[in-house]
Chain A
């Protein structure tokens, strides 16, 4: 357990949700906009779902482990560990390319900016995502990581981290 590391990160997000969350109008740039969520230490995951629950609770105002931008899955049973389904910040993002209404637009540095009010629930983005990064619920609403970092301090195992886009080592 890395208590000190968790505390320091918690402080860094103590200011609350960024104002560019879904349903809060269009994105405006903040210093965090280039940061990306990464999972550099997912091998430490214990499968508690705290990250997904935090995203659902704080970003989407739901109690759920599915309606979230990051979702933890067991990789073929609990004996083989866990994977995280989430946006890997493609640049350019194929989901935005197929969005017919502009609800998803490319985010500077990779990933997308979400304008929830423009989403017509067509599901095209879900199909276009190559990494199962977008979830959809029974009503067709979509859940995609907006790289806000609110989940990070809720990981008890220090699996998650916000990094600069060019340091993510993931899809570019």
Chain B
């Protein structure tokens, strides 16, 4: 771990045997996103189906993981069943430090376990264990049993697991990490389920050697001071990202009721302040991050008389948008109840909420009925959405099984594609304007974090296609660099290139520090090249009509401008892929 070469544990789940591979390439791809793409090139089967046992499920960290504050994320990559192409999903929790302190830069899982299994990975242990007793269990119950099944190591291990949605192969299935974090998007849970793998326990039971001298410790202290003693990160541990609710509603960019509107007076009952005042129980942190951005809320349920039980649920802006405003649910405790239901069944909350919003409007329009949804869906009916969440994740009807493959798949059969809020995948909560709509549609992960498009939309009202697309193209490499280290993207204001270079030098990677801009570009192109090898083309993705009807602070969406941005951005991505092919031939 953390040497000039990558230490990669490759596990064949069919046999339960692993082998330690020592691979070159640190100077080319750094780690994290770059390493994951490199490993897919080595172990992936671009031409085979997403669920072919040979397909790898990859977890990768970077050279700064665990060595500096907020270097606390893991990159998971796989061939997605959502779009049949290569993708990444990122999560924190304790996964990154556990993998680092187990002594590995990456974990690559190939093959398919004969029976439902769990995998233990530690510095001196590798064990595949049959866990048929966990079949069908929700993520919460599975987590509790896994802690019993694997005694010891509390606090120094990460427990990744899937719920029924992952076992079923839903394209919205997530991998839950340490209860409150998730590899959420693009069906990572299905990729794990296809391998008959219910859980992965990573025990960070070893240690990294540190460089001699005091320079490293001094730099750590300097950065620690920046992230804890300045205003730089206050947003994230104060109200958290939930603060975005009011801000986006104020500029008519918050999706309500399946994006039928972008602002609503009901925001007062569901703002970040309201969540903090009424339902915030405590904060939590990923391992190695002193910011503590995880906001854990609570709700309680009354059984009878004065007998209650209480539940703890993590919240953020995105889940609140998806199962709150998008579904017309405006009570903070109801939002938490729905989030919990979605997470227990093992679905990504953003995807599930947006899918159920479409299903609700489709119900209103008579395209589907209770026969499909089983539970009548109406905007604002929180109890119905709690039931529907479980039905969607567990595939309780043919309709829900189809919807779980993606909203547009369901719309293709039942109609309603025009109002499906899908931008490459179910939309993130930023109805900020044309650039974001095009950027998420064609973004590498179809994530709002691929580029800063939603920020650009909020600051720029002019309609200059080249300038807007230049922004996307210029913004991406820096993010690819951070996700190769692997930093939390909340820390992007702290870790500029100069700081990253100092960090790399301090831990013995001076050779990487000298070439960051070129390496960032190389990683960006490699990621796109790998995705292209699995079938990506810009024309695979279109923007539903609903997005052309949106009004933001800039006024009505300009259809011509949106189309032009998407076309130009697609053209530029194709050029990146061609350059990557030339570079990695």
Residues of A bordering B, CB below 8 Å: 1, 3, 6-7, 10, 46-50, 53, 56-58, 61-67, 71-79, 82, 137-138, 154, 156-157
Contact = CB atoms under 8 A, between A and B. Distances in A.
9 tightest A-B CB contacts, nearest first = A63-B208, A73-B155, A64-B207, A48-B285, A156-B290, A46-B292, A62-B207, A46-B285, A73-B154
Contact of A79 (B154, B179, B289, B292): B179
Contacts of A46: 282-285, 292, 294
B434 interface: no
Contacts of B237: 1
A74 B155 contact: yes
5 contacts: A48-B286, A49-B288, A63-B100, A66-B206, A79-B179
Nearest to A49: B287
Interface of B: 66-67, 69, 97, 100-101, 123-124, 143-144, 147, 154-156, 178-180, 204-210, 216-217, 220, 224-225, 228-229, 234, 237, 282-292, 294, 312
B155 A72 contact: yes
Contacts, number: 109
B210 A61 contact: yes
A57 B155 contact: no
B291 A63 contact: no
B97 A65 contact: yes
A142 B489 CA distance: 36
A161 B234 CA distance: 23
Given A50-B224, A77-B143, A156-B291, A67 B284 contact: no
A78 B207 contact: no
A57 B155 CA distance: 18
A161 B205 CA distance: 27
A71 B290 contact: no
B61 to A, nearest CB: 12
B101 A65 contact: yes
Nearest to A7: B229
B540 to A, nearest CB: 39
B207 A67 contact: yes
A128 B207 CA distance: 24
Contact of B284 (A7, A58, A66, A78): A78
A65 B292 CA distance: 17
A78 B178 contact: yes
A64 to B, nearest CB: 4
A75 B155 CA distance: 8
A81 to B, nearest CB: 8
B33 to A, nearest CB: 22
Contacts of B97: 49, 65
B322 to A, nearest CB: 22
Nearest to A58: B217
Contacts of B69: 50
Contact of B290 (A7, A48, A72, A78): A48
B509 to A, nearest CB: 14
Contacts of A63: 66-67, 100-101, 207-210
B124 A138 contact: yes
Nearest to B100: A63
A157 B292 CA distance: 9
